[in-house]
Structure 1
Amino acid sequence: MKTSVSVIIPCFNAERTILRTLEALDKQTAKGFEVILADDGSNDETVKTAKSFKPENYKLIVIAEKHAGPAAQRNRGAKKAKGELLLFTDSDCVPEKNWVSEMAKPFADKNIVGVSGTYRTLNNEKIIARFEGYEIAKRHEKLARQKYIDFIGSFSAGYRKNIFKKFGGFSSDFKRADAEDPELSFKIAKTGYRMVFNPKAVVAHPHVSTLKKFWKQKFSRGFWRVLLYKKHPEKMRGDSYTGKEVQLSLIFLAAFLLSFAGFFLATAFKNIALMNFLAKSAILSHAAFYLVNFPTMVFMIQKEKKMALFAPAIIFIRTLAWGLGFAWGLVKLIMKRSG
């Protein structure tokens, strides 16, 4: 490649998926880059499995560190990197054969300092995974309509190394793979640097496929958003990836749940006027919730008719998990300040 590239992959207990990722990188149309695998204190055979792989078209470097979280491992990988461009993906992602070249392509413009790629769902046989894939696809359509973006996800991220260093890399305040990636891109965009979305840079990814894992993921997303918005309060109004429908959904869902609970409380006191008010409030807020999410549901149904049955319930569960996670994050923040 004309421009030197380093691909950085943080991993933790990824023995089942890491070979698939490394093999996909060996099939890239681009050649001569390096891949740095930064292990986060795995207690399985991740490091051994990775070291056993002998790539033909790139140099593989495996570094093993103590458990510190994905943000810290990406930063450690970046310190070892020799490339002018740093590309990031995850240990369960499968980059398509032109991923490296497509991620590098926008950097031909010297004004571009960051690039985001896109997802393709790997486990399409699962309804929850397909829902997740459709929702991301809709948001990526929003990214594609914008000349410049402020949100880059680490599953397919690219930065100029000098810019990455200038902004200190990913914040290790985020101990999980949640919100540390947009926190960096928000910082960079805030100073006027330009970043773009390239829908041709694709990685396949197995999204969560069970309701339990889906709930835990969305709860965690909500929890870590508290820290993200503490650092970047202006982004509570939305960003190039997250629209205002998220905030509106949370508001209307909270109004519905409070009205619904209040209605049954009012029945205990036989307060007819209050019962009528709360019943109307519950109906209106519930309708408003689904009105806000109507474009997303239409998008999903256009992709798959079956989503007409599943999307409304999954959207409700997703928003509830977000909200409870965010509320718990606020509680933890208040406790930390008061303690």
Structure 2
Amino acid sequence: MLVSVIIPAYNEESTIESCLKSLLNQTIEKDTYELIVVDDGSTDSTPEIIKRYPVKLFRQENSGPATARNLGAKNSSGEIILFTDADCIADPNWIEEMISPFIDEEVIAVKGAYKRGKGNLIMRFVQIEFEERYEILSKLNSIDMIDTYSAAFRRNIFMEYGGFDTNFTKANNEDTELSYRLSKTEYRMVFNPKAKVYHTGHPNTIFKYFKLKLRIGFWRVIVYKRFPDKILTDTYTPKTLKFQVLISLLLLGTSVLSFLHSLFFYAFLSFLFLFLISSIPFIRFSLRKDTSIALLAPFFLMIRATAIGLGSVYGFVSNPFTSIGTRNTKNRGQ
């Protein structure tokens, strides 16, 4: 079974070499997989670095990672196509673990895990965020979210459903949109926690983290407009997070209105109490991983929920393109 590994790259001169070295040092035979890099109009030395390695290089004008990944898939030869990011470093057995679930013919997509080493508090909090989600996913027979940092698809299904929606010109939620489309099929998508990549691009300040979650909130609501059944429940998002997003918006509203009447102040205190209660599951989970993060969890969770909430409100009242999914993408099952 030939495998194609596709990496979109835009101005990744500081990370692409480590990424390619890790992918060229895999446990499976080199003649069983190909590496495809799509340069998305880089203006730095990324293309020159890529040319030093035995990979297929395609270039396009800067159009975003969704378009770049689709171009790589179109020019791939593998029955299975894998995606990762140019700032990720794959474990030596990453490809082997990513393709192993495809022995089950009902499986059409596989999600791997995301790790990083020690860092500052915000970076450690982000890692625990992921690990909380992974614990949820590892208990499920089928999932509805395949993240592109560690993703695998049967090529025929990926092409049949039109790949990533290129209306998503930024690296944000294009994988969610495709995952939700594929979740409507009669096939399964699964999580393999043994397939690990190490990401070097965690946000390392509160400000960067807030901006990231703000964008995630915005684009996720754009996707929810197309898949409203996912608003209340999906396999990837902890239920407490969606509750906290709502509470954070109520906290913002009542904090402003409390200047007008004392009843709003009492409402603010009630919502704050509910938020703290809803933080208990994450605090308990964090205690098993990192005591410092557990102690600061309510603060980090409030930052996260507020950013996602504000982004969601903006996404709800706006639309970054006229009609989501206007290009030829299939929506079987809707």
Give TM-score scaled by structure 2 length. Answer: 0.92
Shift of the alpha carbon at 1:211? Answer: 1.6
> Quick check: 1:94–1:205 contact (8 Å CA) kept in 2?
yes
1:331 Cα deviation (Å)?
Answer: 2.6
Equivalent residues of 1:118, 1:156 under 8 A apart? yes
Q: Equivalents in 2 of 1:258, 1:195: separation in Å?
A: 39
Q: Tell me if 1:61 matches 2:56.
A: yes
1:150 & 1:48 partners in 2: Cα distance? 37
Partner of 1:96: 91
SS at match of 1:238: coil
Task: Supply the distance in 1 between the matched residues of 2:294 and 2:113 (Cα, whole angstroms).
Answer: 25
Matched, 1:251 2:246: yes
Higher mean C-alpha deviation, range 20-29 or range 249-258: 249-258
Call closer, same or farther: CA 1:78–1:335 in 2, change over 3 Å: closer
- Which of the residues 269, 284, 289 maps onto 2:270? 284
What residue in structure 2 maps to residue 34 of structure 1?
34
Q: What are structure 2's unaligned runs of at least 5 residues?
A: 324-334
Q: Offset at 1:334?
A: 9.8
1:295 to 267, 281, 290: 281
Structure 2 vs 1, CA of residues 302 and 82 (structure 1 numbering), >3 Å: closer, same or farther?
Answer: same
- Aligned-residue CA RMSD (Å): 1.5
| Structure index of larger Rg | 1
Question: Does structure 1 conserve the Cα–Cα contact (< 8 Å) formed by 2:246 and 2:309?
Answer: no
Residue 149 of structure 1: aligned partner: 143
How far apart are the structure 2 equivalents of 1:139 and 1:323? Answer: 19
> Sequence identity, in percent?
39
Distance in 2 between residues matched to 1:42 and 1:297, nearest whole Å: 42
Indicate yes or no: 2:166 matched with 1:172. Answer: yes
3-state SS of 1:315 partner = helix
Q: Which structure dedicates a bigger proportion of its chain to helix?
A: 1
Partner of 1:215, secondary structure, is helix
Q: Which residue of 1 aligns with 2:5?
A: 7
Question: What number of residue pairs does the alignment pair up?
Answer: 320
Q: Which string of whole-angstrom CA distances, capped at 9 and with x for unpartnered residues, describes residues 24-65 of structure 1?
A: 0111101221010011111111111111234xxxxx111111
Structure 1 unmatched runs, 5+ = 55-59, 267-274
Q: Which residue of 2 aligns with 1:191?
A: 185
Is 2:203 aligned against 1:208? Answer: yes
1:73 maps to 68
Secondary structure (helix, strand or coil) at the match of 2:51 reads helix
Q: What pairs with 1:14-25 in structure 2 (closer than 5 Å)? A: 14-25=12-23
Counterpart in the other structure of 2:329: none
Of 120, 125, 133, the match for 2:119: 125
Following superposition, the deviation at residue 280 of structure 1 comes to 2.1
* TM-score, length of structure 1 as denominator length: 0.91
Find the counterpart in structure 1 of residue 237 from structure 2.
242
Which amino acid in the other structure matches residue 236 of structure 2?
A: Y
